[in-house]
Structure 1
Amino acid sequence: MKVEKTKDDLVEEKSPGFFQKLFAWVIIPLLFVIAILLVIAQFTDTNIFEKASEVLPKDEEKSADTKEVEKKIVELNAEVQEKEAQIEKLQRELDEALADNENQKAIQEQLKRRIEELEAGQEEARKDLKEIVNTYEKMSAKDVAPIIVEMNDEQALEILANMKPETLSAVLAKMDPKEAARYTEMLSKRKSSGT
């Protein structure tokens, strides 16, 4: 009686698995070589564990290196914190400078507006003065002279200084000679000072 093998039986007999090959071709020979080396070391009176400890770094060396590395890490962390503090300080200074700059801009804008208001007011005052001077120039010199004498010196000088030369001479001619001399002197001082 013949037993026929099926396909499933053939597949199981085909080849060993990956781990079986690894174990048979690598691990067993490696263990065999190690065993031979240990036997040789025993006969030559060589302590393999001492030789291994000489080759490998000692714990003392490791701890010294570790301490040095830890010390360096602490130093670097301190340096990082110092730099962060400097950055924060510079950021605060920058923020303060920007705020101060904004305040300066606001003050500058206020001053510009104030100057414009003053210039507008000055222009308005010039127009008013010009109208007053035109009014006095239309009047007779005989009527203007007593009015000028009654004004305070600053107002009188403003009006006299802005009159046409012909009108000014006619008004001064109608004043008391002492008053005319006083106003003439004040007008000459005013012109020499440039106001």
Structure 2
Amino acid sequence: MSGKEKESGKFGSILLFIIIPLIFLIIVASIVLWAAGVDVMKPIQETAAKTPVLKQLVPETKESKNAAEKQQEDRTASLEKTIKEQKSEINILNKDLDTSKSEIDSLNQKIRSLKQEAEEQKKKTDETAKTASDSAAKKDKIINIYKSMDSGKAASIITQLKEKEALDILNGLSKKQLAEILTKMTPEQAAKYTEKISADEK
């Protein structure tokens, strides 16, 4: 007997005594379990579905389809929830942005108002300064007229003026001119103006 014949005999023996009875037992057990109402195909299909090569050959079970659909639904629900949360966050951020824009507009309005107020104040200050300057120029002009006048005429006119105007002119004169004008006044008038001029100097 050659080596090939021996191997062939061993394989035949294994096939005859182990594999065939094993297949027969599996078939009998499956029939008994099927008759008892047990779904024999389910675990086989589940195992085959998890095996990479057999996965392509075994049709998908109803349970695995349902599980896959449920998983897909859960994922969709999760994504929809995330989208809803993000939309809510976007709405909150948009509201904050609108509030910020409103505050910026309000601040810009205040800045414009303050600028306008500052310009008006500057204008008033300039006008006041100009008025004061014009007033001082007029006063100097009037004082210069009285400086060039005869002391007697100046004394008679000054006594007719309002007290403040008269004192402004007298204070603008030199001591010599003041003395000459006061000597041309009555003693009462000269005393009154002297007293006022002394009080102003203090």
TM range (shorter): 0.5 to 0.7
Distance 1:158 1:150 in 2: 14
Amino acid in the other structure paired with 2:125: I
SS at match of 1:150: coil
Amino acid in the other structure paired with 1:171: I
SS at match of 1:110: helix
1:162 is the counterpart of 2:172 = yes
Map of 2:144 onto structure 1: 134
> Relative to structure 1, is the Cα distance of residues 186 and 78 closer, same or farther in structure 2, using a 3 angstrom cutoff?
farther
Map of 2:119 onto structure 1: 109
Map of 1:74 onto structure 2: 84
1:100 is the counterpart of 2:110 = yes
Structure 2 segments unaligned to the other structure (5+ residues): 1-22, 31-39, 50-62
Distance 1:177 1:76 in 2: 98
1:118 is the counterpart of 2:119 = no
* 1:87 CA displacement: 0.8
Q: TM-score by structure 2 length?
A: 0.60
Distance 1:158 1:152 in 2: 10
| Structure of higher CA gyration radius | 2
Amino acid in the other structure paired with 1:164: S
* 1:66 CA displacement: 4.4
> Relative to structure 1, is the Cα distance of residues 184 and 58 closer, same or farther in structure 2, using a 3 angstrom cutoff?
farther
Map of 2:59 onto structure 1: none
* 1:76 CA displacement: 2.4
Distance 1:80 1:124 in 2: 64
Among all aligned residue pairs of Structure 1 and Structure 2, give the percentage whose two residues are the same amino acid.
Answer: 25
Map of 1:146 onto structure 2: 156
> Relative to structure 1, is the Cα distance of residues 159 and 63 closer, same or farther in structure 2, using a 3 angstrom cutoff?
same
> Relative to structure 1, is the Cα distance of residues 178 and 72 closer, same or farther in structure 2, using a 3 angstrom cutoff?
farther
Question: Can you list the C-alpha shifts for 1:138-186, whole angstroms capped at 9, x where unaligned?
Answer: 1222222222121111211211121122212222233233333332333
Distance 2:201 2:156 in 1: 23
Q: TM-score by structure 1 length?
A: 0.61
Amino acid in the other structure paired with 1:129: K
Two-structure CA RMSD over aligned residues (Å)? 3.1
SS at match of 1:175: coil
Distance 1:189 1:74 in 2: 86
* 1:132 CA displacement: 0.9
* 1:136 CA displacement: 0.8
1:190 is the counterpart of 2:183 = no
Structure 1 segments unaligned to the other structure (5+ residues): 1-38
Distance 1:65 1:160 in 2: 102
> Relative to structure 1, is the Cα distance of residues 72 and 189 closer, same or farther in structure 2, using a 3 angstrom cutoff?
farther
